[in-house]
Amino acid sequence: MKKILLIIASALLLLTGCSDAHAKVNNPTEEIIKIGNKSITKEEVYNNLLTNYGSYFTITDATDKILDAEIEITDEMREEANSAIETYKAFYLEQWEEFLSYYGYSNEDEFINSIIRGERLTKLTENYVYDQWDDLMDSYNPKKAIVLSFTDSDMANAALVELKKGTDPQEVATAYASSLSGSSEIITSESTYTTDVMAIVNTASINDDYAMIPSTDGVTTYIVKVEETDPNNIQEEVASSLASYDSIQIAADEYYFRKYDFTIYDKTLYDDIKANYSNYVVQK
Amino acid sequence: MTNLIKKYWFVSLVVIFLFVIIIYFVYDTNKDTLSGKKVDGNDVVYTINKIDKTADELYTDLYDKYGIATIYNKLEQAVANQAIETTEEMETIAKENSQTIISNFESQYGDTYEEQLLSALKQVGYSKVDDLETYLIQIQKITLLFENYLNDNPELVQTYIDEKSPRIVSHILISMEDPNNPTQEELDIVKKVEEELEAGEDFGVVAYNYSDDTASAQLNGSLGYATKDTQFVPEFLEAMLLLEENEVSDWVKTNYGYHLIKVDSTSLKELELVDDFYTDIYSYYPNMQSEAIWEKANELGIDFKGNKELEIKLKKYLGISE
């Protein structure tokens, strides 16, 4: 009987012994500063920093580690970043330092690093698109097409005549006041064109000529020409386009955080990231 | 043992059943418990690509970027709590204001209002929505601290007054289609206003009855607190600044019509009762807030624990010169 009671007591102890982990700093009672009779300890400062800045910093830091593992910094990236800096400097002139300070950069190098980081993030998302190519092509069904848009049907008709003659679509767009530029674009299931436009994009072949879609809203007339239906022939363009989608970026983040086994061991941080950046919580 | 179990088989069954329930309960309670990790005796906060980030490493990184702002918030809280006593009035005001703030957040953000409110409180060094009243009490204490600082440094107030010419102002507006060519009807109203004022009628009463600026007319013509930087039309501003306390201007023509302007008060005692007075002074002296906190902190005693770097960084953050 005593043994049974002992076992039950042990089980109850197990119950009280298991609680969520909170990572602690070493020397938590170390005084950082004392004002009057109030001591501010290292633990107090740490808890405050963790609550206010921990989740954003963690996600950024973890992302940087993933970038270090996946995307090398290339000379091309450095050149693009330096070129971007020159453009900014030429624009802001004497206000350049003010611009840097306003956006929270201590110096020019920090800003260059930020631009390079952005380029690496884009490359990372593009790599995700390549990794998940077949599934994403099924989901997004990308095509390359030219779309022009007119509010004046006479202009639309005249534009169509020019396009069929072979005039450059961007020149036609400008000459006939199209609200779209006439440049080629990647259109997917997430594009916001009308049902009629999407029907043409999804069914036309590259041999079909420009098609006019008469206005159903009484306002807009579209002209559409599909240039490529096989995404495998335009991989770079498709990857670049899809990489700009929020849905793809979110999926890519989750994919890489899972790939590199991102695991949180502090309950405060876990709850904060779950509340504000839930797609990054990938641990079981 | 076996005989015992056989003899008391029912009790045994109940005990086993209870034991299973307990084990399941313990498992169910703890299955979502977050487990910790230690490396070389240090708590790990997170791991990515097998790289551990310990709490101390995270502390160092966060402290480098945001430590001074955090310490300033703590310093301000410590000064407010020790230098100024919490009164019942402060608690009442904080309670009322917190209810208003929560209502405002609810109507602006709906279901996510608590998240937004928490985010705002985190910016000022608090970590729970329940801290709102505490924060509002701190605000009142800090405001009182600044008022006391100004009382102790009257030259700051005088410099502000000399520079900005603050006053409390009223006006009577007679709207006109074309102020350069007023109609007879408009001029008749002008005359009526003049007659009533000459007969001794109160400026505020005349404003209430005749002013076409309906918003201020409801307040007996009062436009409230004004300084030389107030966004009045130039003719109005110029005339207003020439007046002493209780003086009324001649008719001032603007593109709205004709105005009579009265300076109700320039006295410090009256100006101090208006919130705009202090708001404007704090804008005029952007470093005054930190100077007042710093002075009071020094009175209470600051011990940097030998950390000269912290002292220098904090002073730089506060805009305090050596």
> What does the pLDDT read at residue A136?
97
CATH code for the part of the protein at B159-271 = 3.10.50.40
Mean pLDDT, rounded, for B123-135: 87
Angle at A151 between CA A148 and CA A154, to 5 degrees: 90
Mean pLDDT, rounded, for A112-130: 96
Contact pairs from chain A to chain B, CB under 8 Å: 181
Q: Give contacts of A45 with chain B, Cβ < 8 Å.
A: 59, 63, 67, 70-71, 74
Query: By C-alpha distance, which of B170, B266, B264 is closest to B219?
Result: B170
Is residue A61 within 8 angstroms of chain B, CB to CB? Answer: yes
The two structure tokens encoding residue B275: 């919130």
The two structure tokens encoding residue A108: 């020019």
Q: The complex's ipTM?
A: 0.84
More confident residue, B24 or A8: B24
E-only strand ranges, B40-175: 42-48, 51-54, 167-175
The two structure tokens encoding residue A182: 């006439």
Q: Which of A89-103, A142-156, A157-171, A264-278 has the lowest mean pLDDT?
A: A89-103
> What does the pLDDT read at residue B2?
76
**Domains of chain B, residue spans:** 1-33, 37-72, 84-152, 159-271
pLDDT at A107 over 60: yes
Give residue-wise pLDDT tens across range A212-253: 998 777 889 999 999 999 999 999 999 999 999 999 999 999
CB contact under 8 A, B70 and A12: no
CB contact under 8 A, A26 and B56: yes
Q: Give contacts of A257 with chain B, Cβ < 8 Å.
A: 48
Side chain identity at residue A23, one-letter code: A
Q: Give contacts of A261 with chain B, Cβ < 8 Å.
A: 47-50
> What does the pLDDT read at residue B125?
78
Side chain identity at residue B35, one-letter code: S
The CA radius of gyration of chain A, in Å to the nearest whole number, is 28
Q: Given CA atoms B56, B60, B63, B65 in this order, what sign does their dihedral have?
A: negative
Q: Given CA atoms B103, B109, B114, B118 in this order, what sign does their dihedral have?
A: negative
Q: Give contacts of B36 with chain A, Cβ < 8 Å.
A: 21-23, 265-266
How far away is chain B from the Cα of A71, in angstroms, using its nearest Cα? 14
> What does the pLDDT read at residue A1?
58
d(CA B287, CA B282): 8
> What does the pLDDT read at residue A3?
63
Band of pLDDT at residue B119, cut at 50, 70 and 90: confident
pTM over 0.80: no
Phi, psi of B27 (to 5 degrees): -65, -45
**How buried is residue A173: exposed, middle or buried, by Cβ count under 10 Å (0-12/13-18/19+)?**
buried
**Domains of chain A, residue spans:** 65-134+242-280, 143-231
Q: Given CA atoms A246, A250, A251, A252 in this order, what sign does their dihedral have?
A: positive
> What does the pLDDT read at residue A116?
96
> What does the pLDDT read at residue A7?
61
> What does the pLDDT read at residue A214?
82
d(CA B247, CA B264): 8
Give residue-wise pLDDT tens across range B61-81: 999 999 999 999 899 999 999
Q: Give contacts of A52 with chain B, Cβ < 8 Å.
A: 66, 70, 122-123, 125, 127
- B8-to-A3, B1, B13, B15, B252 alpha-carbon distances in Å: 15, 10, 9, 11, 107
H or E element at residue A150: strand A143-150
Of B45, B75, B301, the CB nearest to A265: B45
Mean pLDDT, rounded, for A101-127: 92
Is residue A54 within 8 angstroms of chain B, CB to CB? Answer: yes
The two structure tokens encoding residue A32: 């950082």
Residue in A with minimal Cα distance to B123 = A52
CB contact under 8 A, B19 and A11: yes
Is residue A13 within 8 angstroms of chain B, CB to CB? Answer: no
How far away is chain A from the Cα of B144, in angstroms, using its nearest Cα? 19
Query: By C-alpha distance, which of B302, B51, B55 is closest to A266?
Result: B55
> What does the pLDDT read at residue B14?
86
Fold of A143-231: Chitinase A; domain 3 (3.10.50)
Residue in A with minimal Cα distance to B79 = A35
How many residues can be counted in chain B? Answer: 322
> What does the pLDDT read at residue A15?
56
Mean residue pLDDT across chain A: 91
Give residue-wise pLDDT tens across range A6-28: 666 665 655 555 688 999 999 99
